[in-house]
Amino acid sequence: MYSQPKDDLDRLTRLQNEHLQSDELVISTLHKKNELESFIYAWRPKLEGSHRQYVLPELASTINAKLSENESWLYEEGSDSTLSEYNTRLEALKVLIVPIDNRMKEYT
């Protein structure tokens, strides 16, 4: 029976763990990118429809501009960005939008 020296097994185990961590980061990044994209597509029609009466027109215009800006970024220079950047952009949009959603939920 063939056996690997302990050092080789340890090295291969570390290498495998590094690959798993890298894979997890790639998957998490893709999920966050998709979450940002979904958030953008979900909120544009809500601002013009179901949530329209819960937001001032000027703020809706500002938010729509931010949604468009982030959408353009997502498909251009942000197409292969980092998990941190996707998260930062998503959280910045939520800061603007969550209060509107909460207001709508409060009054309906």
The CATH classification of domain 6-107, taken from the options 3.60.130.10, 3.30.1370.100, 1.20.1270.10, 3.30.420.40: 1.20.1270.10
Separation in Å, CA 107 to CA 4, 54, 97, 101: 67, 9, 16, 10
What's the whole-model pTM score? 0.82
pLDDT at 2: 62
Where is pLDDT greater, at 67 or 6? 67
Band of residue 16 on the pLDDT scale cut at 50, 70, 90: confident
Which tokens is 73 given?
């970024």
CB-side neighbour CA atoms (13 Å) of 11: 5
Q: Are 66 and 96 in contact (CB under 8 A)?
A: yes
pLDDT digits (tens, 9 = 90+) for 26-57: 999 999 999 999 999 999 999 999 999 999 99
Q: Is the pLDDT score of 81 beyond 70?
A: yes
